[in-house]
Structure 1
Amino acid sequence: MKQYIPNLLTLFNVFSGCVAVMFAVLNRLELAALFVFIGILFDFLDGLAARLLNVRSEVGVQLDSLADMITSGLTPGVIMFQLLAMAERGGWNLGFFGHDTEMTLLPFLGFVITMASAYRLAKFNVDENQVYSFRGLPTPANALLILSLPLILLYHNNEILSGIILNQWFLIGLTLVSAYLLNSNITLFALKFANWSFRDNAVRYLFLIGSLVLILTLRFLAIPLIILFYILASLLMPKTEVD
């Protein structure tokens, strides 16, 4: 029975991702972000459960990537679609749920993130070396980066930040950078602990503490800073420690 527990948690990730996609399509981006957070939590819990219960299956590995594709691949693509649509003016009328929406081809660029996520997950599934480190930005981290944008818009109420986020060139640039980071050769440390020693996991502990401080002080604005901090910390770490 215990071998089914991680897969059940992964299926809750699938459900959370499906709900997130629906809210993103309906342009309820704050609710989409909430369910992405929930899905990423289940993504963490299924791996934790598999390690604690000492159960692992090929079905579970494939299911985990399929769940990530929905929660951390499709959802950020739809969110970027919506942000680009907000930044864009003019274009043809495209109907969603009976409502005409003016847009050009530009918003569809957001799905480059989804395509890049699919390719990254496919590579991850055939790479046996990504256990205590990652090659390229993990899809959940990238999803958090993208979904932080509507949350900053909604809850920080800053005209300068809003002007930057709703600038189409900024969004285009971020989409391309996101796709690159997902499939880059940058080695990034994973938040998996072989043991609880501070000496062996100093960077991981400092990263978690620093992230908590940033979230408590900057709220949603902290998310892109944490992702940047994560990349820089990985680049500055000795390769032996990252691996």
Structure 2
Amino acid sequence: MKRHIPNFITLLNLFCGCIATVFAVMNQLEFAAIFVFMGICFDFFDGLAARLLDVRSELGVQLDSLADMVTSGLVPGVVMFQLLNLASKGGWNLDLFGMHTEVQLLPLFGFIITLASAYRLANFNVDENQVSSFLGLPTPANALLILSLPLILFYQNTTVLHEVILNQWVLLGITLISAYLLNANIPLFALKFSNWSFKDNAVKYLFLLASLVLLITLRFLAVPIIILLYIVMSLLDKKSMA
């Protein structure tokens, strides 16, 4: 019975991703963000449960990636589509089956995030080196980065932030950078602890402390900064270990 517990938690991640997808398609991005966050929490706890119960399996690995593909792959792509749609100025006038319609092409580039996420997850499943660390930005971290953008607009909106975030070229740049980071050959530490020693986990503890301070002081605006901090600290940590 216990071997099914991690898989059940993984399915809760997928369920949250399905609900988040519905909200994202409806352009209810705030609710989409809530369910993505819940899904990412389940994604963390399914791995923790598997380790604690010692029931890790190949099925669980595959199921985890399939759930992440929805929660942390599809939803960010839809959210970026919606943001690009808001930022787009004009479209192409087409006549389809005798019906006149205006089509926005630029928002479709938002799904580059979904494609890059799929490639990363597939690559992760066949890469035996990504056990205690990652190569490239994990899809949950990337999802938090993308979902933070509408939350900043909703809760911390200023004229400057509005003009920056809803600039179509800024959004397109974020999309391309996101796709690159997901599959870049950049070693990043994983927030997994084999022990609780500060000496062995100093970088992780410092990162968590800095992230907490940033979230308290900057709220949603802290998320892009935390992602950047994560990359920088990982690179510095690798240099110190070299």
TM-score, normalising length from structure 1?
0.94
Q: Which residue of 2 aligns with 1:97?
A: none
1:1-243 paired onto structure 2 within 5 Å: 1-92=1-92, 103-238=103-238, 241=241
Q: Percent identity?
A: 72
CA distance in 2, matches of 1:130, 1:168: 34
| Cα separation, 1, equivalents of 2:84 and 2:101 | 13
Instruction: Call closer, same or farther: CA 1:161–1:107 in 2, change over 3 Å.
Output: same
Structure 1 residues 105 and 232, CA, compared in 2 at 3 Å: closer, same or farther?
same
Contact 2:142 2:178 in 1 (8 A): yes
**Once the two structures are superposed, what CA deviation does each residue of 1:173-195 show, in whole Å capped at 9, x if it has no partner?**
11000000000000000000111
- What is the alpha-carbon distance in structure 1 between the residues aligned to residue 8 and residue 187 of structure 2? 30
Task: Give CA-to-partner distance per residue, 1:126-175, whole Å, 9 cap, x none.
Answer: 01111111000000000000000000000002110111000001001110
Q: Is the Cα–Cα contact under 8 Å of residues 88 and 103 in structure 1 kept in the other structure?
A: no
Give TM-score scaled by structure 2 length: 0.95
Equivalent pair of 1:141/1:227 in contact (CA under 8 Å): yes
The separation in 2 between residues aligned to 1:241 and 1:135, in whole angstroms, is 16
Rounded to whole Å, the distance in 2 between the matches of 1:103 and 1:224 is 31
SS in structure 2 of the partner of residue 27 of structure 1: coil
Contact 1:21 1:74 in 2 (8 A): yes
* 3-state SS, counterpart of residue 134 of structure 1: strand
Q: Name the SS for the 1:129 alignment partner.
A: coil
Name structure 1 gaps, 5 residues minimum: 95-99
**Contact 1:10–1:64 (8 Å) recurs in 2:** yes
- Tell me the distance in 1 between the aligned counterparts of 2:101 and 2:191: 42
